[in-house]
Amino acid sequence: MKSYLLVSMLLLLNSILVYIYTKNVQILVSGITVAVIIYIVVKIIFERFVHQ
């Protein structure tokens, strides 16, 4: 498993757990958004510059 995928999944899991305990939807939405942004940006950078 690639490290950026692992970081995105852990961040997503963390935001879900925080949502379960706080019932704050804003934390859940921001966590999902950040996880998706990290995954997409790092994947693009990794594929474009590392795998040439």
Q: Is residue 52 part of a domain?
A: no
Q: Is residue 7 part of a domain?
A: yes
Structural domain count, the chain: 1
Domain extent, residue 20, equals 3-47
Q: Is residue 11 part of a domain?
A: yes
Predicted pLDDT of residue 5: 77
Q: Is residue 31 part of a domain?
A: yes
Go through 12-48 and write b for each residue having 16 or more CB atoms within 10 A of its CB, e for each that does not: beebeeebeeeeeeebbeebbeebeebbeebeeeeee
Predicted pLDDT of residue 25: 83
Dump pLDDT digits (tens) for 1-52: 577 778 778 888 888 888 888 887 887 888 788 888 888 888 888 788 776 6
pTM attached to this predicted model: 0.65
